[in-house]
Amino acid sequence: MEYIRINTPDPRRVFINGRLSGSTNALIRVEPGTHTIVLGNPEEDAPDPAAEERRAVVRGTTVDRPLVVDFE
Amino acid sequence: MRTALQAAIAIAFAAVGACAHYPATPGLLEYAPSVGYRFANTPPTSANSDSLMVILTFSGGGTRAAALSTGVLRELDRTAVPGEPGRTLLDEVDIISSVSGGSFTAAYFALHGREGLDRFETEFLDWNAQAALKRDLLAPMRIIRLLSRNYSRIDHAAATWDQRLFGDATFGDLIGRRPLIIINAADMSLGATFSFTQEQFDPLCANLADFPLSRAVAASSAFPGLLSPLTLENHGDDCGFEAPGWVENALEDADIGGDRYRLARHLLTYRDTDVRPFVHLLDGGLADNIGLRPILRSLTSTSGDWSVLRMINNGQVRRVVVIVVNAKTDTRSNVDLREQPPGIKRVLQTVVSTPLGNYSRESVQRLREVSDDFLRELTATPSTALPEVHFHAIEVSFDGLDDVEERRYFETLPTSFRLPPDVVDQLTEVGGRLLREAEEFQALLAQF
């Protein structure tokens, strides 16, 4: 199990590889490897089409030492 | 004159037989990732919540496996959900992933529910299915059909299962109902699990909703040599399929996410209809004899149609129970009692069954590691940092029997579709007892 934390000023939904996979400012469990991260609005079930897209390689993390990605 | 007549009849029969063809694989008109036999289309109900996710896996092992898994279903039905009168753990079963013999129990239960359990015992467990297959093989129409190159023993088996057990039901008849079943066969070219899910059918542009349950069960139990492989047609580019988002990323991860990389590579092979216009399926036990691999994937990945991990992250699932029903045998037998080396049949049995047994052990070990990961989270983080989940991994196998003689008795039962009714009764009883007495099952009940 790998862990990632997406930080945003306000709470947002997190879509990983196109699927709703958690929320910002909290830990999210993922499998090891490359992931595409897009944010969504809090009540929406789909990613925000205008939102920035990030790719992150997640490996070697632990629950105490997650990969941290900051979005503005 | 008589000879000419006989020849004419033979030619007519051969001509009719040559026209026989296995049922066409239903095509998908338009790829729609939210339509079809998928977990998302089996919503939670007042009787079956998402917060408690109960997952069962049923191994291969012929009637022995089917009976053992039936005993587990019955025990779940005897176990009330604490604090919720009138509901049993059987109501909470969300997913059953099955292989070979276990697929008969899974498919029949998914189709008929708890009311079907008694009937399953008389219609399947106490039935001499092997004799029925042989008898049906002698029916004139079946003989004629089997003359065709496009109609084989596996199609004959599926027809027999339909007649006796499934009555032409398709996966479409199960949409909207829990548990979702994942019947697993093995893709002959890839040597990998092929699950009868819409997600697996999507790249083939095939529609699982119109696919008969009997054929999935037949493929899942198509043991090499006894039954021929089951053939699917690959409809390729006919439906506008687009590879899911995780595939592109996974292809860059050959050195990181082994499983994900392999799955992405496998998925793309179905897109090449020049190389794979057909897909041939064998007994699911050849790739994973306990049906645990699709479950492990769902527990450790946020990709895919059905991801328990995603549901945990989103706070939908608070407690996960995985019960692995493993009817494995101990095939050491008595070869070492003799000086002469074992014959070819015995050697082939060992070649097939030994790696599978080792792989099953590794899968169960992996499940325990996943369980440990979740346990570590509970102790390592403040509860607000991560949606909390409690995990219970339970294995029901003859290893759980303390009595050596009793264990030896069950471990040496044959793998066949014909067991005496008293042995079937013993197996259903021991299945229930092994679950009831499992330490982790008792821990689960104590924690509610």
Comparing alpha-carbon positions, the chain A residue that sits nearest to B388 is A27
**pLDDT tens by residue, B333-384:** 677 888 888 888 778 777 777 777 778 899 999 999 999 999 888 777 665 5
User: Nearest CA of chain A to the CA of B382: how many Å?
Assistant: 10
Choosing among B39, B249, B305, which should be mutated to test the A contact, i.e. which has the most A CBs within 10 A? B249
Q: At B252, list the tokens.
A: 């860059």
**pLDDT tens by residue, B234-274:** 998 789 999 999 999 999 999 886 789 999 999 999 999 99
Q: At B335, list the tokens.
A: 């070869």
**pLDDT tens by residue, B168-204:** 999 999 999 999 999 999 999 999 999 999 999 999 9
Contact B249 A28 (CB under 8 A): no
B125: which DSSP letter? Answer: I
pLDDT at B10: 54
- Specify the DSSP element, H or E, that contains B365: helix B344-380
Give how far Cα B120 sits from Cα of B98, B109, B171, B217, B290, Å. 16, 8, 19, 15, 21
Confirm or reject contact between B257 and chain A (CB < 8 A).
yes
| pLDDT class of B2 with cuts at 50, 70, 90 | low
Describe the crossing of helices B404-411 and B421-437 by its angle, rounded to 10 degrees.
Answer: 130
Contacts of B257 in chain A (CB under 8 A): 31-33
Secondary structure (3-state) at B101: helix
Asked whether the predicted pLDDT for residue A24 surpasses 80, the reply is yes
Q: What residues have CB less than 8 Å from B387, skipping those under 6 apart? A: A26, B312, B313, B314, B315
Q: At A5, list the tokens.
A: 């934390």
Contact B300 A26 (CB under 8 A): no
pLDDT at B11: 55
Residue type at position B300: T
| pLDDT class of B410 with cuts at 50, 70, 90 | very high
Choosing among B297, B299, B307, B310, which should be mutated to test the A contact, i.e. which has the most A CBs within 10 A? B310
Residue carrying structure tokens 């997952």? B55
pLDDT at B119: 96
Confirm or reject contact between A6 and chain B (CB < 8 A).
no
Q: What residues have CB less than 8 Å from B186, skipping those under 6 apart? A: B192, B193, B194, B281, B282, B283, B284, B285, B286, B287
Sign (positive or negative) of CA dihedral B203, B209, B215, B220:
positive
Q: What residues have CB less than 8 Å from B38, skipping those under 6 apart? A: B180, B197, B198, B199, B305, B306
Secondary structure (3-state) at B192: strand
Which residue would you say has higher pLDDT here, B137 or B376? B376
Asked whether the predicted pLDDT for residue B386 surpasses 90, the reply is no
Backbone angles phi, psi at B272, to 5 degrees: -95, 90
Average pLDDT over residues A32-47: 88
- DSSP bridge pairs for B396: B325
Contacts of B302 in chain A (CB under 8 A): 16-17, 19, 21, 28-31
Q: Describe the strand order of the beta sheet including A13-16 as a list of residue ranges.
A: A19-23, A13-16, A33-40, A53-58
What range defines the domain where residue A13 resides?
Answer: 2-70
Contacts of B246 in chain A (CB under 8 A): 17-18, 35
Question: Given its phi and psi angles, is residue B22 left (phi above 0), alpha (psi -120 to 50 degrees) or beta?
Answer: beta
Secondary structure (3-state) at B359: helix
Looking at B62-131, which runs of residues are DSSP E strands?
A: 93-99
pLDDT at B358: 79
Give how far Cα B341 sits from Cα of B354, B407, B414, Å. 17, 27, 22
Give how far Cα B158 sits from Cα of A41, B45, B122, B155, Å. 49, 32, 19, 5
Spatial distance between the Cα atoms of B220 and B222, rounded to a whole number of angstroms: 6
Spatial distance between the Cα atoms of A23 and A8, rounded to a whole number of angstroms: 10
Which residue would you say has higher pLDDT here, B337 or B52? B52
- Specify the DSSP element, H or E, that contains A54: strand A53-58
If one counts the domains in chain A, the total is 1
User: Nearest CA of chain A to the CA of B391: how many Å?
Assistant: 14
Residue type at position B173: D
Cβ atoms within 10 Å of A64's Cβ, excluding its own: 12
**pLDDT tens by residue, B295-334:** 999 999 999 999 999 999 999 999 999 999 999 987 666 7
Contacts of A33 in chain B (CB under 8 A): 249-250, 253, 256-257, 260-261
Contact B309 A17 (CB under 8 A): no
Average pLDDT over residues A34-58: 88
Contact A63 B386 (CB under 8 A): yes
**pLDDT tens by residue, B91-127:** 999 999 999 999 999 999 999 999 999 999 999 999 9
* Candidates A1, A17, A28; nearest CB to B373: A1
Contacts of B251 in chain A (CB under 8 A): none
Mean pLDDT of chain B: 90
Q: At A39, list the tokens.
A: 């944010």
**pLDDT tens by residue, B223-242:** 877 788 999 999 987 899 99
Contact A31 B302 (CB under 8 A): yes
Give how far Cα B37 sits from Cα of B263, B300, B369, Å. 20, 22, 30
User: Nearest CA of chain B to the CA of A23: how many Å?
Assistant: 7
Which of B102, B432, B434 lies closest to B292, judged by CA?
B102
Which residue would you say has higher pLDDT here, A63 or A43? A63
pLDDT-wise least confident of A68-72, B151-155, B188-192, B280-284 = B151-155
CA end-to-end span of chain A: 27
Confirm or reject contact between B301 and chain A (CB < 8 A).
yes
Asked whether the predicted pLDDT for residue A37 surpasses 70, the reply is yes
CA end-to-end span of chain B: 82
Comparing alpha-carbon positions, the chain B residue that sits nearest to A4 is B386
| pLDDT class of B70 with cuts at 50, 70, 90 | very high
Confirm or reject contact between A56 and chain B (CB < 8 A).
no
Cβ(B37)–Cβ(B208) below 8 Å:
yes
pLDDT at A14: 95
ipTM: 0.95
pLDDT at B104: 98
Give how far Cα B24 sits from Cα of B20, B142, B153, B159, B424, Å. 11, 18, 16, 14, 36
pLDDT-wise least confident of B59-63, B130-134, B150-154 = B150-154
